[in-house]
Chains A and B, each alone.
Chain A
Amino acid sequence: MLKYFAEELLNKCSSLRKKWEDEVKKLIEKRPERRQRFSTVSDHEIKRLYTPEDIKDLDFEKDINFPGEYPFTRGVHYTGYRGRLWTYRMFSGLGTAKDTNERWHLLLKEGQTGLSTAFDFPTLMGYDSDSPRSAGEVGKCGVAIDTLEDFLVLVEGIPLGEVTTSMTINPPATVMWSMYIACAQKQGVSLDKIGGTIQNDMLKEFIAQKTFMLPPEPSMKLISDTIEFGTKYVPKWNTISISGYHIREAGSTAIQELAFTLRDGMEYVEHAMKTKKLEPDEFAPRLSFFFNSHIDFFEEICKMRAARKIWAHVMKHRYKAKNPRSWWMRFHTQTAGCSLTAQQPYNNVVRTAVEALAAVLGGTQSLHTNSLDEVYCLPTEHAVQIALRTQQIIAEETGVANTIDPLAGSYFVEKLTKEMEEGAWEYIEKIDNMGGMLAAIDAGYPQMEIANAAYKFQQQIEEGDKVIVGVNKYVTEEAQECPILEIDESVEREQLNRLNEVKRKRDDKAVKKALDDLRRVCKKDENVMPYCIEAVKALATEQEICDVYREVYGEYRDPGFF
């Protein structure tokens, strides 16, 4: 063991601390501190001061080491952001495919370096725009995609061999990925050249985000199918983005976000190893992660540093991966939507900047910064531009990317990183003992832990124990308005016309055959991906494909825990 501090220094530190504590005690008797107890936004207690004594048990090599070296606490890359900055990846999608394509071209022109797709709710849930369940939702929260024809418009003029694209899509991930693959083939780009990410993380849907379709078991099967297909044919694609973002938005603490996300990741690794007979080193380098960056600056940075460390440990020791790339945790970050306020919305620019800075100091690989108006609607172009510029200012003006992991060695940061790690391990072991994440979800365990944390936070807000500026403190009477983007009702009509047009001109026999083939392999437990790709090429709609899945595998309903 390589101790962080020499015994002599620790002894000296201890005697100096006692002297300081005596002074503090005298002082706070006369003038008490601002509050009895200080804690993070997650209610994790924070001490008055951190000293070498707090990190005396750390092992320099095992806990911290150097960037690019196990356990990657200081980052997975040897040169940090000096070699390459993080990817500016703004999540966007609105209205029709044409509307979104225009927004994408604008973002690329403004210096964005990767794309990220927001789909509307019908697309997210595997319904077509003409389903009765889609009424009022088409194009509202993202772009409406029904068939390959829509997807071709979405990526028009985007060189799929050069730009990487992330797609936030879960139950119908196989369908949207198939469409992307079909578009790449039409552009003449081979599958080994395309790069991007499908979110494809169903466990956190059951836990937090609630876009469901199939029950947990068959959901896992489709995910392992994509992992297997990607491993064989689309080697630069991240077939899953194991997400803590939505867990946090649902009200979890930072430690819960960390623990549940990592435990989800382990579940996927085990499932792919077991059902596809894959070795971890064959697919683990393509697993990616997605975290929230909330308002509590240091807690977020430490959460991200701890995340890399835990994942490296798990991959190396639990799953015996040998390739250091399998030990890497690479992650995307989005600033916390739930930290933004409808009251005094311009303050959201400041919140987002602080959260983005935390993500950068935590070592994120790509970043989405929320726009100030997203508490009201999808963002306007002007608001998106400010959000993108926030990243560019952090990257290119502030100098924080000049050196790697600049906060390392801070007594506080190293101690809090350790506490995040230990807190997460406690949860992970508890879930292990329950029989894994599927069993835990079935018991409602992560759902209730999050519900409890969310309710506790709400009570702290009500009591004024936690402050949200403009909401429970510094409230102004006059309404401060910002411009709002409205998705015109004509979007739904336009999309329905497009869908009808495709249905009229396509070869119904070919559609039926493709869907029958898909149904057959679903029942046989074969990999669905090649058949799904054929179905989208035959212009089967998203819902037609998802209905085959629903028919074969059944549907999941929200148990409604509260």
Chain B
Amino acid sequence: MSDRKLRIMVAKPGLDGHDRGARILARYFRDCGYEVIYTGCHQTPEQIVEAAIQEDVDLIGLSCLSGAHKELFPKVVKLLREKGAEDIVVIGGGIIPKQDFQYLYDQGIKEVFTPGTPLEEIKEWIDKNVKVEDRIL
């Protein structure tokens, strides 16, 4: 284990501009003491993956409220694998019907959070499931 702070990227893939949740989470994570990178809206999966690798993050939180999550979330996981960065954990949130959860899990999204989830619940999940590993510099 390391003393390093967990690095989280909050990302908005696709053309969706509903960013209230993403921005609240970014600020909450920062208040929790994590290091936070927020991408802003309208990122392609390629841009997100490139930035995540460059910023050396431990976790990507994807937010999508436009209905394009089945296309965009798996694409991010796939690109991470292609770049050998599968150690970066990917979670998602937004307007996501229950029947899509299993598909997203199967595609490598580790957890899905929908509106109304208490922020603390997300933090607890992160602390339990994302470990800060020592990095080889």
Contacts and interface: CB of A to CB of B under 8 A. Distances in A.
Nearest to A249: B20
A251 B114 contact: no
A484 B22 CA distance: 24
A458 B15 contact: no
A166 to B, nearest CB: 19
A125 B41 contact: no
B20 A141 contact: no
B39 A560 contact: yes
A377 B16 contact: no
A468 B16 CA distance: 25
Interface residues of A, number: 47
Interface size class of B (residues with CB under 8 A): 35 or more
A471 B119 contact: no
Nearest to A470: B116
A137 B14 contact: yes
A212 B16 CA distance: 11
Contact of A137 (B23, B66, B115): B66
A133 interface: yes
Interface string A499-510: 000000000000
A454 interface: yes
Interface in A545-560: 557-560
Contacts, number: 105
Contacts of B95: 375-377
Contacts of B33: none
Given A141-B66, A462-B119, A133 B44 contact: yes
Contacts of A137: 14-16, 66-68, 71
B23 A121 contact: no
B68 A455 contact: no
Given A137-B66, A141-B67, A455-B24, A560 B72 contact: no
B26 interface: yes
A377 B24 contact: no
Nearest to B118: A462
A458 B95 CA distance: 18
A89 interface: no
Interface in B18-77: 18-20, 22-24, 26-28, 38-42, 44, 66-68, 70-72
Interface in A497-536: none
B49 to A, nearest CB: 15
Contacts of B120: 462
A209 B10 CA distance: 18
A124 B15 contact: yes
Interface string B85-114: 000000000010111000000000000001
Contacts of A205: 17
B23 A458 contact: no
A122 interface: yes
13 contacts: A121-B16, A135-B68, A136-B14, A136-B71, A136-B72, A210-B19, A377-B95, A454-B23, A455-B24, A458-B24, A479-B98, A559-B40, A562-B27
Give 9 nearest A-B pairs by CB, closest first.
A136-B71, A560-B40, A210-B17, A558-B40, A121-B15, A136-B68, A140-B67, A562-B23, A562-B26
